[in-house]
Amino acid sequence: MSTVQPLESGSRYDIRVGISPDAPDEDKLKDEVGSFGYCHSYETSSRYDGPGLRIVLFLSGCLLRCTYCHNPDTWHLKDGTYVSADHVLKRIGDFAPALRDVGGGLTISGGEVMVQLAFARRILSGAKAMGLHTAIETSGFLGARADDAFLSEVDLVLLDIKSSDPDTYRRVTGRDIAPTLRFAERLAAMSKPVWVRFTLVPGSTDDPANVEGIAKFVAPMKNVEWVEVQPFHQMGSFKWKAMDLEYQHHDTPSPTRELVSRVIGQFRDAGCNAR
């Protein structure tokens, strides 16, 4: 049984490991109540994770293993802090008036938000009750878990589509692309606002055909408000070393301005709002 602790604010680039050694494996968690959960940290003033100023809560637990992940210390529940949903909501409540004033809100990221679906739902619901705009960032791999009650608490989905080519997707994430595409289609069918995010990794995801495949898939979806191209960077690489994980991207550069322009152009040419 994990010990309940207070949640520290901080940065997604702080490394946090081994905080709850008795936690279940992330693929074995069964929790339909959501009163407690495992969190990495929260940031109080992000301008990059949804509209306006955001408080961003990083949940622990992810079933993907992206080769370029910036936060491998969010993969396992055992690395997170075990906290009560009430405690997290109290922290969010401290910022709620300021966030409401500037049209901001709460974004739950990770890790993968749907590993701890009931916990996330409880927090999203509490944030909505405070009058906050709510967003989740997800790979969509566990999208089948998201029932309508969960999605009703979410105003915006930041959907990471990591590649369109199935082989590339498997190579960079270790998983199948199909669940993500099915989740995207479901969100489109229910007109749920979505910002698609694509991490541009030179030598891994930058193939023009790979980009084109995402662009063609997304362009007809009227619910997709933005496609955001996120350039790969090395800010999380120190975590791989500290956690003794094999990192494939020591020598991978950030994409050049020309490459970013080419990829944004591909999305725009297909009819997407891209930036």
Residues that bind ligand SF4 (CB under 6 A): 62, 64-66, 69, 71, 74, 110-112, 139
How many C-beta atoms surround the C-beta of residue 52 within 10 A?
14
Residue 146 CB, nearest approach to ligand SF4 (Å): 15
Whether the Cβ atoms of residue 13 and residue 35 lie closer than 8 Å to each other: no
Residue 95 CB, nearest approach to ligand SF4 (Å): 24
Residue 78 CB, nearest approach to ligand SF4 (Å): 15
Residue 48 CB, nearest approach to ligand SF4 (Å): 15
Residue 162 CB, nearest approach to ligand SF4 (Å): 7
Residue 74 CB, nearest approach to ligand SF4 (Å): 5
Dmax (CA) for the chain in angstroms is 53
How many angstroms separate the Cα of 257 from the Cα of each of 162, 180, 202, 210, 265? 20, 28, 12, 19, 12
Q: Which is nearer to ligand SF4, 139 or 210 (CB)?
A: 139
Q: How far is CA 174 from the centre of its chain?
A: 17
Q: Which is nearer to ligand SF4, 103 or 166 (CB)?
A: 166
Q: Which is nearer to ligand SF4, 49 or 112 (CB)?
A: 112
Closest CA to 229 of 215, 239, 217: 215
Which string of DSSP letters, residue by residue, matches 201-254?
-TTTT--HHHHHHHHHHHTT-TTEEEEEEEE--STTHHHHHHTT---S-TTPPP
Q: Which is nearer to ligand SF4, 128 or 233 (CB)?
A: 233
Q: Which is nearer to ligand SF4, 111 or 213 (CB)?
A: 111
Q: For residue 37, what is the enclosing H or E element?
A: strand 36-46
Distance CA 184, CA 194 (A): 9
